[in-house]
Amino acid sequence: MENMPKNYDAEAVEQRMLDKWLAGDYYRRNPGVGDCTVTIPPPNVTGKLHMGHALDDTIQDTIIRMNRMRGISTRWILGTDHAGIATQTKVDKKLASEGISRREIGREKFVDACWDWTHEYGGHIVEQIKRMGCSIDFSDPHFTMDADYATAVRKVFCDWYHDGLIYRGKRIVNWCPHCTTAIADDEAEYKEEDGHLWYLRYPLVEPVDGQEYVVVATTRPETMLGDTGVAVSPKDHDKDKFVGAKVRLPIVDREIPIFSDFYVDAGFGTGFVKVTPAHDPNDYGMGERHGLEKVNIFDETAHVVEGYGAFSGMGRDECRQAVVAWFEEHGLLDHVDDHHHSVMHCYRCDSTLEPWLSEQWFVAVDKLKGPATEAVTSGKVTFHPSRWTQTYLTWMENLKDWCISRQLWWGHRIPVFHCEDCGWEDALTEDTDVCPKCGSHHVAQEEDVLDTWFSSQLWTFATQGWPEHPERLEGHHPTTALVTARDIIALWVARMIMSSTYFLKEIPFKDVVIYATILAKDGTRMSKSKGNGVDPMDLISMYGADAMRFNLLTLVTNNQDVRFDADIDKKTHELLGSPRTESARAFVTKIWNASRFVLGNLDGFTPGEPRAVSQADAWIFSRLAKLSAEVTKDIETYQFGEMARELHAFFWNEFCDWYIEFNKASLREEGDARLQTQRNLVYVLDNALRLLHPAMPFVTEAIWENVPHAEGEAPALMMAKWPEPESLASLVDEESERAVSLLCDVVSAVRSTRARYGISPKQELPVVLRAGFENARVLEGLKSQIISMARASELSIVPSDAHKPAESACVVAHGCEVYCVLTGLIDFEAERARLTKERATLQKDEAKFAKKLSNPGFLAKAAPEIVEKDTAKLAELRDKLARVEEQLAELG
């Protein structure tokens, strides 16, 4: 008890426990039976912990801690991702602030600057993960740019290159003019925007049935400079006469053909579609089918290239305005409509992406799709929740070749070398400066680097020794579970399965756990720009890590999105509070205080076996046995919200509110009865702490240090044995559970009646129980306990068809009706008058809020948080009104 002060200090306790765990080296792989290996989804090396990370890491730690306690060989692998675009952008900004550009200092020095950046800032997120209490193996960190990891990346590239799965080609890619690099299709973020549909007149070279021009509709008039065709639908027979004709493209004076293609939607615009094969993926497809020229009108920064007169050098937006002005000036702008459409943006810098024809490196996915699809359809890899299975399979079915080259300097440089003299080219696992074919020293390596997802796809096996030490994978691969967000099912999960099934001929993980996206309180995405993001470190500072972790676990349901209830200062963006995390902190305090009470009543305690000497003992042992089975199953099946609710209900309601109360009298006694009560309390507390530990490691570890243990027990709770369901199964006692549950319900009913009518807990009152034969029999056996705990002056148990006692209040409990006789305890007339007055006030307020919330004008203009607040108030008023109505009915 000397280590358990009256008030729980989360900050002091959590730091002390963290130091203890790290000093004990408990986070390393422990010897055991079976295996539980989990790889952390590598956060960006320059990143900062956000709420998604906090939830992800809490889930993983819960899995790891339970399995470690079960004696399973367990390891959680730490690592970070080099984050090519993100890191290069940060270093570019840093250099710019110093008046330097990467072009000035060159590639080698820029890469050195990136390494300096990662060494300076890369450990921040790792320290935050550590502060959360995550029992990850910090002694063996991995980084996607480490030498051993780079060896694995290079082998994968070279093997796929020589197996014909990697090729170079000129294709349309999503290009970011700001980052000046290609972006994967899956990384493009679509945003709804209000724009326009411009209708442009293209003159026909020769009139068709007296018509001198056709009208095309476009959302991007600037790209008309690169048009090489006009398409119509073969289903649109009114336009058959135009097929084969040509138009003279305005401004550039290029003759381009009109043709038919099934891709064209006859209902879009005028039915005539301008075709720009170098600046639209669908147009590219039509260009391939019809042999159209591919004219790229933009450079890498989306400025018009030379050859277009006054338009050359213009940026996209400037060019758009100039083209529209030219068409209007020359009488070729037919009209303009408003148009709402979806526009691709760069996921890093938010710039509008440009579909751009460029030479890139690709992975041909046809040979990879089949095994990766079968891995999921066969059940070898299971998604939780299962609905994400179809998301994965749909993406795999529609998968196109993967663009893996990025026009960056920071990252894994593509290991393809070519000779400038003889034209030799090959992918090599080791650098060379000599051509093996002609001996020339004019050998150059590709300038581009690999997509970050290319390297991270190897995560489960490249972090465990592959390819140089494949023996380290034995028994630890496939890994147990991957816990991640839905956003990267395609970007990462699928690619990990493709690479693992190709190189290891096995799946990378058995389960994929997709957690819900945590949204801001108003239902929008958390973001720095909106100022609505919550920093997990702020939550920890305010409430402690255990409270944050437990609250996050309660959010794990089958929902796709969940709202986090944090209140944020609109001006400073500082965290003001989180009611749910506040409630979780109250639970932490309850655990501490209840444990302190039990451990403070152990004078004269000697170790011994727990033994049920009362029905209450048998009840709590049975409930503990069922809790062990439920929590174990919940973690195994990734039902963490259920796990959290069951732990809370057991410890707070059953153990604290009832079992400790049942035993307070015994603790005041002397002799064997007191000693057995102590042993039973310690046994239940000890096992409850073990079950709570994976979710709330700090407070449980600190308490467990003070719990009496048998000699030879583990040095820390995190290394102690898990309460296995099989070892506790014999404690299940349905009869005792039924009896004590009935006792608790009756006592609660009497207490709620006292509270409702303002009757003192010390005031005795008559109680009548109406029950069926079987429940009446059980209640007879509990009579003395009910009288004592409910402070009943007398207790009558009558048949279920007996008359209701006069002047009584009724509460329907589970298995019986509880009547508290109120004669002489309250003034019925005054109480009826008070309740009637309260009902009128509530009805008036309820009508006011109902009218307000049914007003479309109010709903359209009011801020979402005001509507939410008023809706909650209306629900509260209706609840109070219903309870007042019930009381009035009771009083006749």
Residues contributing to the annotated binding site: 528
DSSP 303: B
Residue 637's alpha-carbon distances to 113, 118, 484, 557, 577, in angstroms, are 45, 37, 15, 12, 32
What tokens does 231 get? Answer: 């398409």
User: Which positions ≥6 away from 93 have C-beta within 8 Å?
Assistant: none
36 backbone dihedrals φ, ψ, rounded to 5°: -135, 95
What tokens does 111 get? Answer: 């890469």
What tokens does 576 get? Answer: 């003001």
What tokens does 43 get? Answer: 């956060």
What tokens does 602 get? Answer: 């152990």
Which residue intervals of 693-733 are DSSP H helices?
Answer: 697-704, 725-728
The binding site for ATP comprises: 528
CB of 176 closer than 8 Å to CB of 353: yes
Q: What is the Cα–Cα distance from 397 to 410, expressed in whole angstroms?
A: 32
Q: Look up tokens 């409630």; give the residue.
A: 583
Cα angle, residue 800 at apex, residues 794 and 802 outer, rounded to 5°: 70
What tokens does 567 get? Answer: 């209140």
CB of 643 closer than 8 Å to CB of 634: yes
Residue 510's alpha-carbon distances to 38, 613, 618, 641, in angstroms, are 10, 45, 39, 21
Partners of 484 in the beta sheet? Answer: 514
What is the per-residue burial (b if ≥16 Cβ within 10 Å, else e) of 425-459?
ebbeeeeeeebeeeeeeebeebebbbbbbbbbbbb
User: Which amino acid type is present at position 58?
Assistant: T
User: Which positions ≥6 away from 731 have C-beta within 8 Å?
Assistant: 621, 622, 624, 625
Q: What is the Cα–Cα distance from 264 to 257, expressed in whole angstroms?
A: 15
Partners of 509 in the beta sheet? Answer: 479
Element (H, E) at 382: strand 382-384
